[in-house]
Amino acid sequence: GDSVTQTEGQVTVSESKSLIINCTYSATSIGYPNLFWYVRYPGEGLQLLLKVITAGQKGSSRGFEATYNKEATSFHLQKASVQESDSAVYYCALNTEGADRLTFGKGTQLIIQP
Amino acid sequence: ETAVFQTPNYHVTQVGNEVSFNCKQTLGHDTMYWYKQDSKKLLKIMFSYNNKQLIVNETVPRRFSPQSSDKAHLNLRIKSVEPEDSAVYLCASSPRTGGLNQDTQYFGPGTRLLVL
The pLDDT assigned to A38 comes to 96
Q: Contact at 8 Å (CB) between B113 and B81?
A: yes
Indicate yes or no: CB of B45 within 8 angstroms of CB of A106.
no
pLDDT tens for chain A, residues 1 to 114: 889 999 999 999 999 999 999 999 998 877 789 999 999 999 888 999 999 989 999 999 999 999 999 999 999 999 999 999 999 999 999 988 666 788 999 999 999 999
For B65-79, what is the mean pLDDT? 93
pLDDT at B115 over 90: yes
Whole-number Cα distances in Å, B87 to B75, B83, B115, B116: 16, 9, 9, 12
CA–CA min distance B81, chain A (Å): 24
CB proximity list for B59: less than 8 A, separation 6 or greater: none
The pLDDT assigned to B57 comes to 78
Indicate yes or no: CB of A45 within 8 angstroms of CB of B104.
no
For residue A71, the number of C-alpha atoms closer than 13 Å in the C-beta half-sphere is 2
pLDDT at B97 over 60: no
Chain A interface, Cβ < 8 Å to B: 9, 31, 34, 36, 38, 44-48, 51, 53, 89, 91, 95-104, 106-107
Indicate yes or no: CB of A106 within 8 angstroms of CB of B56.
no
Tell me which chain A residue has its CA closest to the CA of residue B104.
Answer: A48
Out of B41, B97, B99, name the one closest to residue A106 (CB).
Answer: B41
Nearest to residue B48, comparing CAs of B62, B29, B63? B29
B42 touches chain A (CB under 8 A): yes
3-state SS, B45-107, equals EEEEEECCEEEEECCCCCCEEEEEEECCEEEEEECCCCHHHCEEEEEEEECCCCCCCCCCCEE
Give the Cα separation of B91 and B73 in Å (integer). Answer: 10
Phi and psi (nearest 5°) for A56?
Answer: 95, -15
